Structure 1
Amino acid sequence: MLSAAFVVASFVASTFSAPSPSAGNCTVLWEGRIPQDFTPQSFDQDTSPFNNTIFLGQNQTWSEIVQFPDVPPSLFDITSKPVEISISDESIFAFNASLIETGFRRTELVPANNNNTGDITSGITTIHWSILTDSAHPLNYSHEYQIMWHERTDLAADQLALKTGVPFAPAKEDITVTNPKTLRVVGTNFATPEKNVYVVDFDDDVWHNFAVTIGWETNQTQLYYSRDKEPLEMVSNFTNDWAGQGIIHFGFLRLPIGDPDINIAFEGFQAPIDTFEGLVYGGLFVEDSADGCVSLGGQ
Structure 2
Amino acid sequence: MSAAPAGPRGAPDVRTRFAPSPTGPLHLGHAFSALTAAQLAEKAGGTFLLRIEDIDRQRSKPEWEQRIYDDLRWLGLEWPEPVLRQSERMAAYDDALELLWRAGLLYPCSCSRADIYQAASAPQEGAPLTGPDGIVYPGTCRPADAPARRTDRRPGGALRLDMARAAGRLGDMPYMETGEGGPRSVAGPAAMMVERIGDVVLQRRDFGTSYHLAVVVDDAAQGVTLVTRGADLAEATPIHVLLQRLLGLPLPWYHHHRLIRDETGRRLAKRDDARAISRYRAEGATPENIRRMVGLA
> If the length of structure 1 is used for normalisation, what is the TM-score?
0.22
Q: Looking at secondary structure, tell me which structure has more strand per residue.
A: 1
Higher relative contact order (CA closer than 8 Å, sequence separation 6+): 1
Q: Looking at secondary structure, tell me which structure has more helix per residue.
A: 2
